[in-house]
Structure 1
Amino acid sequence: MVGTEVLRRPGGYAVQVLAVAACYYAAARLGLLRQLSVEGAVVTPIWPPTGVAVAALLILGLRCWPGITLGALFAVMSLTTFRVDVLGTLAGQTAAPVCAALLLRRARFHTDLGRLRDGLVLVFLGAMSAMLISSTVGVGLLVLAGKLNAAHFWPVWLAWWVGDAMGVLLVTPLLLSLHGARWPPPLARWKEATALAVVACILVPVAIYTSISPLFLVYPLIIWAALRFQLVGSMLCALLTSVLATVAATDGAGSFAGLSPIEIMAKLQAFNGAMALTALLLSALITEQRNTRRSVEKACQELVEVLQHLTAGEAPPPRAQPGPEGAGEPDDRP
């Protein structure tokens, strides 16, 4: 994505909006590659643009919201002609990620996802709560336009809501972690990362396309990725697994063979949701514990230095002044 420093250049805001629109549209085209039919309505099991939109708003700020609307317009116009009800769809697709960003900011969400609290906030506020807007508006417009029977509202609404929420759970954490990652990564980890990628490319297709449905085999892989590579590794594994599971589900192959469309959607979304939650929350918990350990180790090291100076009869060195984020407030006690 285009960085915030682009705003300082002439026409920088327009470039930023167009970049968000392009990313949204590209994610939409990827999401439309695989679709399922629920009660006569075509839905996508994973809708990546919602994840792209929420990440863009968190990284670039709320000013980039026109890019979401523009990208959604391009995506809708690639499927149908412009009508009045398209404006309602665009409003829902824009309002949902904007609401998610506002809720996350109000909850003091940290984009590095370094706390378990951040993972929980992203799940319950960013994904499950905010995406109620897009699913309700979208399915409601289908009913009002006569394209969907009112009796089928809830099954289609549930599929739409889960697809939007899965986009946030799978795509937003990955984009946020990649934005905050150090580049290039340390070379010492490449061997293990390569081994993890090879195992994932072998194990995940076996777990998904085997008729005995051993989907549980992917969880040790997710745990390995979370323990060793935190959020980036676990979410990459989760995204790979989710994409392959979606392909198998739409083809009615492997673990999804012989199931009805409703059963396929239920099984796929239950699996994707459980896997994404495991990857996100486990990696956030591990990151929080490691940050806590580093803080304790740093405090112990500073205490040892102070004791050494006191033992030698010297004045202890002055403590570091607080940084721009207000961390490390000086101790005014006697």
Structure 2
Amino acid sequence: MAAVVGTREPRRPVVVAVLTLGVAACCFAAGRLGLLRQLVVEGAVFTPIWPPTGVAVASLLIFGIRAWLGIALGALLVILSLTSLTSLRPADLGIVAGSTAAPVCAYLMLRRIGFRIELDRLRDGLALVFLGALVGMMISATVGVGILVLTGKLAADDFWPVWLAWWVGDAMGVLIVTPALLLLYGARWPPDLTRWKEAVALVLVACVLLPFATRSEISLLFLVYPLLIWAALRFQHAGSVLCALFASVMATVAATDGVGPFARMSHVEVMFKLQAFNGSMALTALILSAVITEQRNTRHSVELACQELMEVLEHLTAGNPPPRPLPMHDDDGVPRRKRAP
């Protein structure tokens, strides 16, 4: 059965406390991980991919609105790890508020349109891209950069370049990290090993091709896309999302090191090239895998309808009343699997 966002909200105080601490710990760990790779734009330091936004949106989609407190606590812990409790200022609390409001607003918009965390429909992939990432993360970028300008830490003329870097970094966290966490949450055990040989081959090719493409002085980033298509066609979300995550990490490492296709570029040029690559790759992975999954579900529905039609014809030919047909979809619209003969 497909899960619609907002249906798994813990109710007991102890569970809420554990959930809050768990989300805060994950957001803090993701923030420290994101700070390992940084770029400088107009004197402001930013991360090309900010993983806490992806963790925050995924937590809200899985656990519901009560995860907001853990998100705020995680953002506060990240700031405290860079400064100290005594040097904490009201401006820092404003940044925490913006970092919390952005994923919450993204979650509310996704919930409004009936987003499903399985990402098995094209509309879900498009919603996560445009509502969850591009629109929702405008809030954190506007609040954060606005506070920097108001407090005098950033010149007003530098507002838009820094805003763009902040916004794209937060959006990339949603586009790359959130699908991977949703995939991990919905994974079934034991996994399907019917195509394990092809999966091993895909992993080996990715481990060789992606480091070469992202660190070669010749611009070979386009080689990532055939790999994404292979992963999406054969393994749907599991293949395309993990492949996109690995490719984004390798490209970010190469960009911050200033090697490969990012060599001899200014920081602004590196930012634009890296984020254009990450954004187009994540969009391709999400949309392509969603389309393939939706087409497979449609095919299963057609096969089920044909099977039931054959049963009706057999009963009519034998002179018996036709059996009552089963619905082709569950209550939430997911096609039923074809029954075994």
**Global fold match (TM > 0.5):** yes
* Counterpart in the other structure of 1:125: 131
Rounded Cα–Cα distance in structure 1 between residues aligned with 2:139 and 2:13: 35
Rounded Cα–Cα distance in structure 2 between residues aligned with 1:211 and 1:218: 15
Q: One-letter code of the match for 1:187?
A: L
How many Å apart are 1:324 and its aligned residue? Answer: 4.7
* Counterpart in the other structure of 2:4: none
* Counterpart in the other structure of 2:24: 21
Task: Work out whether 1:79 is the aligned partner of 2:82.
Answer: yes
Q: What is the TM-score with the length of structure 1 in the denominator? A: 0.94
* Counterpart in the other structure of 2:97: 91
Q: Is the 8 A contact 2:8 2:63 kept in 1?
A: no
* Counterpart in the other structure of 1:331: none
Query: Gaps spanning 5+ residues in structure 1: where?
Result: 329-334
* Counterpart in the other structure of 2:44: 41
Q: One-letter code of the match for 2:78?
A: A
Aligned in 2, Cα 1:326/1:254: closer, same or farther, shift over 3 Å?
A: closer
Task: Work out whether 1:275 is the aligned partner of 2:281.
Answer: yes
Map Cα deviations across residues 124-181 of structure 1 (whole Å, 9 max, x no partner): 1110001000000011111111111111110000000000000000111111122222
Q: How does 1:194-213 map to 2 (within 5 A)?
A: 194-213=200-219
Rounded Cα–Cα distance in structure 1 between residues aligned with 2:122 and 2:334: 19
Q: One-letter code of the match for 1:94?
A: T
Task: Work out whether 1:162 is the aligned partner of 2:168.
Answer: yes
Rounded Cα–Cα distance in structure 1 between residues aligned with 2:197 and 2:30: 30
Map Cα deviations across residues 69-100 of structure 1 (whole Å, 9 max, x no partner): 01111111111231111111111000000000
Ranges of 4+ aligned residues in structure 1 off by more than 6 Å: none
Q: One-letter code of the match for 1:276?
A: A
* Counterpart in the other structure of 1:256: 262
* Counterpart in the other structure of 2:252: 246
How many Å apart are 1:8 and its aligned residue? Answer: 6.1
Match of 1:214 among 201, 216, 220: 220
Rounded Cα–Cα distance in structure 1 between residues aligned with 2:106 and 2:138: 10
* Counterpart in the other structure of 1:226: 232
Q: One-letter code of the match for 2:251?
A: A
Q: Is the 8 A contact 1:6 1:16 kept in 2?
A: no
Q: Is the 8 A contact 1:222 1:279 kept in 2?
A: yes
Task: Work out whether 1:59 is the aligned partner of 2:52.
Answer: no
How many Å apart are 1:318 and its aligned residue? Answer: 2.2
* Counterpart in the other structure of 1:134: 140
How many Å apart are 1:52 and its aligned residue? Answer: 0.7
Q: One-letter code of the match for 2:38?
A: Q
How many Å apart are 1:317 and its aligned residue? Answer: 1.8
Rounded Cα–Cα distance in structure 1 between residues aligned with 2:35 and 2:218: 29
* Counterpart in the other structure of 1:50: 53
Q: Is the 8 A contact 2:10 2:63 kept in 1?
A: no
Task: Work out whether 1:152 is the aligned partner of 2:158.
Answer: yes
- Aligned to 1:187, the other structure's residue is in SS state coil
* Counterpart in the other structure of 1:319: 325
Rounded Cα–Cα distance in structure 1 between residues aligned with 2:232 and 2:51: 22
Rounded Cα–Cα distance in structure 2 between residues aligned with 1:62 and 1:207: 40
Moved more, 178-187 or 155-164: 178-187
* Counterpart in the other structure of 1:332: none
Query: Gaps spanning 5+ residues in structure 2: where?
Result: 1-6, 336-341
Q: What is the TM-score with the length of structure 2 in the denominator? A: 0.92
Rounded Cα–Cα distance in structure 1 between residues aligned with 2:288 and 2:108: 25
How many Å apart are 1:191 and its aligned residue? Answer: 1.6
How many Å apart are 1:197 and its aligned residue? Answer: 0.7
How many Å apart are 1:241 and its aligned residue? Answer: 0.7
Q: One-letter code of the match for 1:325?
A: D
Q: How many residues align?
A: 325
